[in-house]
Amino acid sequence: MNDETLIAAAKDARLRAHAPYSNFQVGAALECADGTVFTGCNVENISYGLTICAERVAFGSAVAAGHRSFRRIAVVADTTQPITPCGACRQVMAEFCDELTVVSANYRGEVFRAELSELLPRAKAGILDK
Ligand code: THU
């Protein structure tokens, strides 16, 4: 699957975002090592802090379905520059991925590709003495 196809899946998921507070809809599509794709959208809550980002919804769905190994995630929002995952999501990604390509996109056709290790260096170094 190419980046464009994964971004299209993220755009489709974004249509289901529950974002009545920020009115900022985000979609994500996570490609597993076996090629399976799980999607997510942001799910906001009236108690703001309970909001879950699109990326974490995608990871939760994939993990709940038994996947532990991932290749790439596409994230899309209607932004002036391609959206990159928040710090909390980066740490959740690092839980499962030593290597993961993050494909950030917007609706202007702009794409920014980065490795998770660039976005969050030394994600787990020293924690629990591991
Ligand atoms: N959000 C995501 O879903 N993913 C990101 O990468 C950044 C932010 C959501 C959380 C909240 O619902 C809204 O976007 C505004 O921060």
17 lines ligand 1 (CB under 6 A): no
Predicted pLDDT at 39: 98
Query: In this model, does residue 63 exceed pLDDT 90?
Result: yes
pLDDT tens for each residue of 87-105: 999 999 999 988 999 999 9
Q: With a 6 A CB cut-off, is 40 part of the ligand 1 pocket?
A: no
Boundaries of every domain in the chain: 3-119
Q: Are 9 and 36 spatial neighbours (Cβ–Cβ below 8 Å)? A: no
pLDDT tens-digit series, residues 3-56: 999 999 999 999 999 999 999 999 999 999 999 999 999 999 999 999 999 999
55 given a catalytic annotation: yes
- Which pair of structure tokens corresponds to residue 115? 């490795």
Q: Ligand 1 pocket test: which of 14, 42, 79 has the largest number of ligand atoms within 8 Å of its C-beta?
A: 42
- Please give the single-letter amino acid code of residue 55: E
Task: Please give the model's pTM, rounded to 2 decimal places.
Answer: 0.97
- C-alpha span between 115 and 120 (Å, rounded): 9
For the chain, the average pLDDT equals 97
Q: Is the dihedral of CA 107, 3, 114, 101 positive or negative?
A: positive
Q: What is the CATH number of domain 3-119?
A: 3.40.140.10
Is the pLDDT at 130 greater than 80? The verdict is no
Please work out whether the CB of residue 79 comes within 6 Å of at least one atom of ligand 1.
no
